[in-house]
Amino acid sequence: METLLLDSNTWLLVLTGAGVSAESGVPTFRGMNGLWEDQPVEQVASPEGFAKDPLRVWRFYSQRRAGAAGVSPNPGHDALVSWERHLGDRFLLATQNVDGLHSRAGSQRVVEMHGNLFKTRCSNDECQRAPFEDTTVYAAGTVPGCKDCGSLLRPHIVWFGEYLDPADLERIQNFSLRAASSGGRFVFLAAGTSGAVYPAAGMVDQVRGAGGETWLVNLDPAENSRRFEHSVQGKSGEVLPKLGRLV
């Protein structure tokens, strides 16, 4: 197997997806065939779905909270923590996962592009209340309300059809600009993601455009596989701990 040299010249941007949490027991979107209770997940992970049936949406996310609370980070998460400790500010982890496992493993420079399952916010954009930590598994039939304005609360998740937080995109962009202009080696590694959901799936092209080196670690061929220069097929919990050569 190829190895990825991580030395004092290297800047590393990592993108993770659901596959990285699969070995922890969190089902992937593709693994569920994009379905929940035989219905497309979009029905419970979209603003339209929330407007139509907030009870159902909270039942879905309460189930996911209960499931994700009982799992632990795996050796793939741990490998990324050791890479970050080695590279310091020359490392950034962008994740599409909302399960919080990277932070629980010890990653610190993390951008949660799609939000966090254990945060809640007010559904009223005018409300001043900030998103807050919330591990509550709400009983079926319950939709929590905002104590400030009385509107419904919603999971702090980027749903289908919603925009990513511009501050998150800016953080990734700034890191990439610094990496590309550092005079060092800019490396992008995507792991456990099907490359189907944008803008994350387009990061490989941006890095290549900036002269960066691109790596993919995935169990199945991703939709954007051919756009990576280096590709390792396998489970991230097995591949990542062996891939990085810390110098």
Catalytic site positions: 114
In the complex, least distance from residue 121 CB atom to ligand APR, rounded to whole angstroms: 17
Cα 119 to Cα 25: distance, rounded to the nearest angstrom: 21
Mapping DSSP to helix (H, G, I), strand (E, B) and coil, where does residue 185 land?
strand
Nearest CB to ligand APR, comparing residues 90 and 158: 158
Amino acid at 217: V
In the complex, least distance from residue 208 CB atom to ligand APR, rounded to whole angstroms: 19
Diameter of the chain by CA atoms? 56
By the 8 A CB rule, do 158 and 114 touch? yes
Nearest CB to ligand APR, comparing residues 30 and 185: 30
Nearest CB to ligand APR, comparing residues 54 and 192: 192
Query: In the bound complex, which residue of the shown chain has the CB atom lying closest to ligand APR?
Result: 19
Q: Name the token pair of 186.
A: 């800019």
Q: What's the angle, vertex CA 84, arms to CA 78 and CA 88, rounded to 5?
A: 160
* Short-list 182, 190, 232, CA closest to 210: 182
Residues that bind ligand APR (CB under 6 A): 17-19, 22-23, 28-30, 96, 114, 192-194, 196-197, 218-220, 222, 235-237
Nearest CB to ligand APR, comparing residues 108 and 233: 233
Q: What is the torsion angle, in degrees rounded to the nearest 10, for the CA atoms of residue 106, residue 177, residue 244 and residue 204?
A: 100
In the complex, least distance from residue 201 CB atom to ligand APR, rounded to whole angstroms: 8
In the complex, least distance from residue 47 CB atom to ligand APR, rounded to whole angstroms: 14
